[in-house]
Chains A and B, each alone.
Chain A
Amino acid sequence: GAVVSQHPSWVICKSGTSVKIECRSLDFQATTMFWYRQFPKQSLMLMATSNEGSKATYEQGVEKDKFLINHASLTLSTLTVTSAHPEDSSFYICSARLGGSTSTQYFGPGTRLTVL
């Protein structure tokens, strides 16, 4: 149980294009989903918190117009990197929380984004 999928697993795009990453909770309904960015050999950096049906809450320093998050249902959240640049190249990981008073997060397999 508590499986989270992420698609695509890797993507290569040209500078200036937009890329959409999907995060799905496969066997549970996720009240909250989180988006992280991870640089090589570093920890997970929280980008934004996404609650179903409401606007995402972005962490300080994360541009909400560049990283568009949509949480349209209890099982799907999407992250769109708009007008991608090489410095956006990174490993993007989502996680999902079961809901209620539980803090447990289950992570997706991550998406490796390379912007040429």
Chain B
Amino acid sequence: GENVEQHPSTLSVQEGDSAVIKCTYSDSASNYFPWYKQELGKRPQLIIDIRSNVGEKKDQRIAVTLNKTAKHFSLHITETQPEDSAVYFCAASRPGAGSYQLTFGKGTKLSVIP
């Protein structure tokens, strides 16, 4: 089955700096890679996703890059703000696998220091 590794497990940055979280996946058939943000006690919220036919996607301060050959994808947050502090999860899915199940990374706790 799919295995998703996520690094780092914790990340502290100064407000205004950039943050980068990296994930690798094992199943070359995976073609969908979402990123979720989860605040303490709240639901995971989809913040950006990318499909395997695209190498990069950007939405304001958030971008995701995908390297299919190396089987890794990364989340980039620029101009970080205190409200970006949360746990971020990456995930991977392949078509038809268990009704499109997502395999999650272990999460990265991002702290943005004012």
A interface residues, Cβ below 8 angstroms from B: 4, 31-32, 34, 42-44, 46, 49, 51, 57, 91, 93, 97, 101-110, 112
Contact = CB atoms under 8 A, between A and B. Distances in A.
Interface in B66-82: none
Interface in B24-60: 32, 34, 36, 41-46, 49
A110 B40 CA distance: 11
Max chain A C-beta neighbours (<10 A), residue from B45, B46, B101: B101
A109 B42 contact: yes
A49 B89 contact: no
Main secondary structure of the interface of B (DSSP, over half): loop
Interface of B: 32, 34, 36, 41-46, 49, 89, 93, 95, 98-102, 104-107
A44 B43 contact: no
A109 B43 contact: yes
Contact of B98 (A57, A93, A108): A57
A97 B100 contact: yes
Nearest to B100: A103
21 contacts: A34-B101, A43-B104, A43-B106, A43-B107, A44-B89, A46-B101, A49-B99, A49-B101, A57-B98, A97-B100, A103-B32, A103-B34, A103-B93, A103-B100, A105-B46, A105-B100, A106-B46, A107-B43, A107-B45, A108-B43, A109-B42
B92 to A, nearest CB: 9
Contact of A44 (B34, B44, B46): B44
Contacts of A110: 41-43
A54 B1 CA distance: 23
Contacts of B89: 43-44
Contacts of B46: 104-106
B53 to A, nearest CB: 13
